[in-house]
Structure formats: C-alpha cells, structure tokens
Amino acid sequence: MGSGRRLIAVATKEAREILRDPITLGIAIVLPLVMLFLFSYAISLEVKAIALAVVDEDGSPESRVYVARFLRSGYFRLRAAPQQVRQVETLLDRGVVRVVLIIPADFARELHQGLATEVQPLVDGAFPNTAILALTYIDTITQAYELEL
C-alpha cells in the first residue's frame, strides 16, 4: 500500500511541475504531435525507381509489352539492356542495377501456346528490404500481365 501512495505523490509532484512551467507543458504536448506529423509524411516503405536491366532474348512484341509494364509502374527505371546474360553479373556487381529480368527466347511462342513461361528475375541482395520489395513488385506486375492474357 505504501508504494501506491508514493506513486501518487510522485505523479502529483510532476503534474504540478508541468503545470507551473508552460514551456514543458508545450513540449510535452506539441513535440509528439509534430513528430507524428513528420513521420507520417517522411517515412515511406515504398521503393521507387529501382534500377533495372532487361535481357530480352525474345525481342517479341509480347516481351516488350511485358517490360513496358515494369517501366510504367514507376517502381522500376531501365538502366541497361544488355544483349547477353553474361554481362548481367558485371552490372549487379558494380551496383549499376538492383534487378535484372531475363526474358527467354521462346517467351511469346509459349504464351501463344498457353504454356507457362519462366522469366528469371535476378535481384541484388545487398539491400534486403529493397530486394524483398522488388520481388513483390515483380510478382504483382507479372500476375497482372498473366491475368490480362
């Protein structure tokens, strides 16, 4: 019972101190509100303009439409379009791109035959949060493309 009285006594003393000093009262009320306002606008988990390279081995209109979906999303920005897969490693190692899409040579043919075609995404794992979000964006864009077909 004695600790309850002490707690009330300390709370009463602190309340008097805060009410006696208007600056402290202002800081206690205004500062959390300012922080809440700033954090709600300043902190975003959304990643935009991820550097993208595309190796389009198919070169078909279907593959170009697929790539255009990535560029229109706002989440990816095309930084390179290497002609060969072996150039991809250099781009990832140097940090030129964070994501590489490799579209196979038979992409359009398999789509027209109704077969499942595999597009290979390669993601730089040096920034895990960006990598996870990039994979999520890739899955979402790919699923939307599949639904449209």
Tell me which CATH code domain 50-148 carries.
3.40.1710.10
Per-residue tokens: 142: 């790919």
Q: What is the pLDDT along the chain (149 residues), one digit of tens a residue?
A: 578 899 999 999 988 887 888 787 788 888 898 888 888 877 777 788 999 999 999 999 999 999 999 999 999 999 999 988 889 999 999 999 999 999 999 999 998 898 888 999 999 999 898 899 999 999 999 999 988 87
Q: Is the pTM of this model over 0.85?
A: no
H-run or E-run covering 65: helix 61-73
d(CA 103, CA 66): 10
